């Protein structure tokens, strides 16, 4: 069962941009895609060891929403957390929802 933490108002999130939030001691990157959907994954780039994925470039690959690390440009699925450039690497994904106009992340 997830514990939900309110991050911000949905309307303040810009499409195709990420925000970072500290949730229960974890840095979580939350993204709003062009179609209005929300995605949340760990902010830690496993290739560089830096907490930067929320600053990555949002896009798509074969119709799947993605984020490219701003440092080494590896691309991660926003749906599964899987690195699309290195099959053996993935980052955790977290449930995210809109409740009463606010973005909430569950851990």
Number of domains in the chain: 1
> Which token pair is 107?
């851990």
pLDDT one-digit tens code per residue, 63-90: 999 999 999 999 999 999 999 999 999 9
Q: Which residues of the chain have pLDDT under 70?
A: 1
- Residue range(s) defining the domain that contains residue 51: 4-106
Which residue bears the tokens 């798509």? 60
**pLDDT value at residue 9:** 98
At residue 36's C-alpha, the angle toward residues 30 and 41, to 5°, is 20
**pLDDT value at residue 36:** 96
Determine the Cα–Cα distance for residues 101 and 66; give it in Å rounded to an integer.
Answer: 24
- What's the CATH code of the domain at 65? 2.102.10.10
**pLDDT value at residue 1:** 63
């Amino acid at each position: 069962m997830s514990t939900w933490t309110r991050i911000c108002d949905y309307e303040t999130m810009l499409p195709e941009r990420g925000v970072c939030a500290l949730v229960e001691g974890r840095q979580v990157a939350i993204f709003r895609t062009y179609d209005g959907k929300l995605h949340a994954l760990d902010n830690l780039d496993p290739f560089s060891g830096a907490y930067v994925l929320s600053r990555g470039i949002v896009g798509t690959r074969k119709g799947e929403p993605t984020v490219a690390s701003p440092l080494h440009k590896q691309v991660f699925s926003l749906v599964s957390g899987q690195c699309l450039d290195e099959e053996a690497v993935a980052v955790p994904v977290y449930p995210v929802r809109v409740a009463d106009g606010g973005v909430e992340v569950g851990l």
